[in-house]
Amino acid sequence: MARRRVQISTTTILGVLALGVVVCLTLGTLIAVAMRAEGAGRLGPADWAAIRFTLWQAAASATLSILLAIPVARALARRSFPGRSVLITLLGAPFILPVIVAILGLIAVFGRTGLISQALGLFGIEPISVYGYHGVILAHVFFNLPLATRLILQGWLAIPSERFRLAASLGMGPSDIARTLERPMLREVVPGAFLVIFLICLTSFAVALALGGGPKATTVELAIYEAFRFDFDLARASLLALVQFALGAALALIALRVAMPSDMGAGLDRAVTRWDDRPALLVQDIAAITLATLFLLLPLGMVILDGLPRLLHLPQVVFGAALRSVIVALVSAALTLALSLPIAALAVRHNSRVVEALGYLTIAASPLVIGTGLFIITFPFVKPSDLALPITAIVNAALSLPFTLRALVPALAAVERDYGPLADGLGMTGLTRLRHLWLPRLRRPMGFALGLAAALSMGDLGVIALFADGDNATLPLQLFRLMAAYRMEDAAAAALLLLSLSLLLFWIFDKGGRVNADR
């Protein structure tokens, strides 16, 4: 009896500690920045324009991502073909892509001298332009279509196969099935998926900068950056960050009422068997899969093509930076797990969505404000450059939390539902439960979470600017240095290196979670 009390309180203590770290990193840093500011901030008309644009582009990006994802998910759900699972994995690649690499790839395809414009040129048609509102949305769809597809595909696969058999035995055609089975499923899945993508697009920064085409496409995060960097107006920067938080929190409140998509790490290996096939459907599905594949993989292909020539001739320091980035990514992945597992345990133990929601705080946090806040807090005590890599690791870990929690919480809840009573009855508590029940049962979602965190961490350089010293550049920073030194071809090769390492890290962890996993 006493042991069980101890067990509950350990879970609670660790969970509360992890939540504390998250709250300190997000709200704490914001408070630190606001306190350092002199006077109250005021939002100008440009800031309001930025807020409007942010909301508009996030809504447009999320809507478009979902609309396009539905036919792709439907096609993937009802077709099984050789290489299907490889394709699903590959289609997930853009989501974990470093933003800078993705933009290079998108420009190579959709830019003025990109593949499409060149193809149009053969027919004497004017080149298309990717810069402007539509560029921002295109990039966001590129990043989030895979996520939307994945979430919706899960919805499809969650429809019990018996229902499709029942539908077949009742002689239902495709439109009947859509009405009775698919649309109700979509009504449940789509709102949650929309919210997730909306939140992701809310804090967009680099995308809007590179493809926005001008000051009209200013997001809140970009406005924070300039308030901080050029005006050194900490008051306005923290006020804008607060606005961003408020937007995120308002959405999170809605999200708590909407069924959020669950189990991002679930397997998608099987296809639904259906009996309502028609040639027209086959054509439609082939078209959806082909177009999505081209849209998502062509830019990656261009990054590879552009980077290959110089890859083996890259200067030594680039590989040093790559190694540093990989280490940071690994530490960051480990920290993500160290944060998300206690939070997930706390959320499952107390069946608390509030706990889970707090874990999502970082999705609306501004990396720049986190970095500045941490600098203000730590500078009196520690030499900032000593903290450059640890802080990069921990902030990246915190930024990955919303996604890793999404994978871990439902999985842990399922483990506790299925095996909790048995483990309780046998007295498996504390570390024993962690070692012999949670870790082995959670291998798949943990592998997915670790891979995601590592990959997301590889490409990020959001917070390092204040802490960096000259000698410890990460790979993305090194990529920028190559560009700053006019070495654009080397930079393309470094981008390829960054792309390969990000995907490789994700693949290794994700695979590691699947190999020999007993179902």
Partner 1 sequence: MLTVDQLRIKMGDFSLLGDFTITPGARVAVLGPSGAGKSTLLAAIAGFQPLDAGAILWDAQPMPKDPAARPISMVFQDNNLFPHLTVAQNVGLGLRPNLRLSDEDHTSVAQALTRVGLEGMGDRKPAQLSGGQIARVALARVLLRDRPVLLLDEPFGALGPALKAEMLALVRDLLNETGATLLMVSHDPEDARVLCDQVVLVADGVAHAPVATEEMFANPPEVMREYLGG
Partner 2 sequence: MKTALSFVAGLALTTTAAFAADKPVLQVYAPDYFASEWGPGPSIEAGFEAQCACDLEFVTGDVMPRLMLEGERTEADVVIGLNTDVTARARASGLFAPHGLDVSGLTLPVDWTDDTFVPFDYSYTAFIYDNTKIAHAPTSFDALLAMPDDTKIVIQDPRSSISGLALLLWVKSVYGDKADEAWTKLNPKILTVTKGWSEAYGMFTDGEADMVLSYVTSPAYHIIAEEDLTKSAAIFDEGHYLFVDLVGKIANTDQPELADAFMAYVLSEEFQSGISTTNWSFPSKLATEKLPEGFQNLPVPAKALVFSEEEAEAIRKPALDEWLAAASK
Q: Of residues 207-266, which lie at the interface with partner 2 (CB under 8 A)?
A: 209-216, 222, 225-226, 228-230, 232
Minimum CB separation of residue 72 from partner 2 in Å reads 29
Does 325 contact partner 2 by CB under 8 A?
no
Is 373 in contact with 32 (CB distance < 8 Å)?
yes
117-146 binders of partner 2 (CB under 8 A): 129, 131-132, 135
Q: Which of residues 20-39 bind partner 2 (CB under 8 A)?
A: 36
Count of residues interacting with partner 2 (CB under 8 A): 75
Of 472, 494, 506, 509, which one interacts with partner 2 (CB under 8 A)?
Answer: 472
Alpha helices in 279-383 (DSSP H): 279-311, 316-349, 353-359, 367-378
* Helix count and strand count (H, E) for the chain: 23, 0
Question: Nearest approach, Cβ of 416 to partner 1 (angstroms)?
Answer: 11
Nearest residue to 496 (alpha-carbon basis) of 290, 292, 313 = 313
Is 65 a binding residue for partner 2 by CB under 8 A? The answer is no
Residues whose CB is less than 8 angstroms from the CB of residue 244 and which lie 6 or more positions away in sequence, other chains included? 54, 202, 203, 220, 221, 224, 364, 365, 366
Q: Which window, 59-67, 72-80, 259-267, 420-428, contacts partner 1 (CB under 8 A)?
A: 420-428
59-88: contacts with partner 1 (CB under 8 A)? none
Residue closer to partner 2 by CB (options 153, 452) is 452
* Nearest-approach distance from CB 463 to partner 2, in angstroms: 11
Q: Which does 334 bind (CB under 5 to 8 A by kind): partner 1, partner 2, none?
A: partner 2
Binding site partner of 131, from partner 2, partner 1, none, Cβ cut-off 5-8 A by kind: partner 2
Decide: is 401 part of the binding site for partner 2 (CB under 8 A). Answer: no
Site for partner 1 in 355-414 (CB under 8 A): none
**Least distance (Å) from partner 1 to the CB of residue 513?**
12
Quick one: tokens of 189? Answer: 């899945």
In 3-state terms, the chain is what percent helix, strand and coil (to 5)?
Answer: 80, 0, 20
Q: Which does 514 bind (CB under 5 to 8 A by kind): partner 1, partner 2, none?
A: none
Q: How many CB atoms lie within 10 A of CB 263?
A: 20
Q: How far is the CB of 194 from partner 1 (least distance, A)?
A: 33
CB 268 within 8 Å of CB 85:
yes
Among 432, 469, 488, 511, binds partner 1 (CB under 8 A): 432
Tell me the residue type at 448: F
- Distance between CA atoms of residues 338 and 392, nearest Å: 16
Q: Which long-range contacts (CB under 8 A, 24 or more apart) does 159-164 make?
A: 159/185, 159/272, 161/272, 161/273, 164/272, 164/273, 164/274, 164/275
Burial of 368: CB neighbours in 10 Å, binned 0-12, 13-18, 19+: buried
Minimum CB separation of residue 354 from partner 2 in Å reads 24
- Indicate the residue among 467 and 506 with the shorter CB distance to partner 2: 467
Residue 77 interacts with, from partner 2, partner 1, none (CB under 5-8 Å by kind): none
H-run or E-run covering 402: helix 384-426
- Indicate whether 112 belongs to the interface with partner 2 (CB under 8 A): yes
Asked if 286 interacts with partner 2 (CB under 8 A), we say no
Task: Enumerate binding residues for partner 1 (CB under 8 A).
Answer: 1, 3-4, 418-419, 421-422, 424-429, 431-432, 436-437, 440-441, 517-519
